[in-house]
Structure 1
């Protein structure tokens, strides 16, 4: 069972590092590469049996802030989802599409960070 947990930690970390590497062509790469790298550090360190509670909470805080910032755009996209595909080029007339992508990315990152801590059986509160 421990090997399955380690494999999942590796996959979560690799996924988040892949997300970070895809952000280099973004208009604001420093923000997004830093965000996904921070989130990727949690499962990667847990892979080596290292859990830093402040790093975990900082990653959760970053995800929460991004979810709050991009939630209005995601809501607006969901109102138009039958008319607009999510996978299309960036368009200045439709910023809500990019905000929805950011929302989903932050939601995935938060889920992977939380699952990593759960799989590592770490106590989040003292």
Structure 2
């Protein structure tokens, strides 16, 4: 029952995150990222699992997260160069390191949600 509730929460959350990205310059990238996760969590709420889909997307999301971590004005720079200022003060990310850091953590959240479904599906 808990897994069903979690998947419904993830499904709806990722759907809302996709909606927030509709008007972004990089919506061509983020809409599919969030929609794929939303769909997979939505069908998992009904007990339908796609372990290979989880693995593929988790790999993609983690590779992209690594790219964002080491990119110029990425997460590493947010930590070392900018001394980790708040990334939650405003929804308008006017500084590139804030945008990349938010995207990095979003990818980790998606990967964790899909990872949970992968392990529950018996994909180990």
TM surpasses 0.5: yes
Shift of 1:103: 0.5
Q: How does 1:85-96 map to 2 (within 5 A)?
A: 85-87=86-88, 88=90, 89-91=92-94, 94-96=95-97
Higher helix share: 1
SS in 2 for 1:27: coil
Shift of 1:53: 2.2
Q: Whole-Å Cα distance in 1 between the matches of residues 107 and 122 of structure 2? A: 23
TM-score norm. by structure 1 comes to 0.81
Corresponding residue pairs, total: 118
Q: Whole-Å Cα distance in 2 between the matches of residues 58 and 21 of structure 1? A: 23
Structure 2 alignment gaps of length 5 or more: none
Shift of 1:112: 1.4
Q: How does 1:77-92 map to 2 (within 5 A)?
A: 77-79=78-80, 80-82=82-84, 84-87=85-88, 88=90, 89-91=92-94
TM-score norm. by structure 2 comes to 0.82
Structure 1 alignment gaps of length 5 or more: none
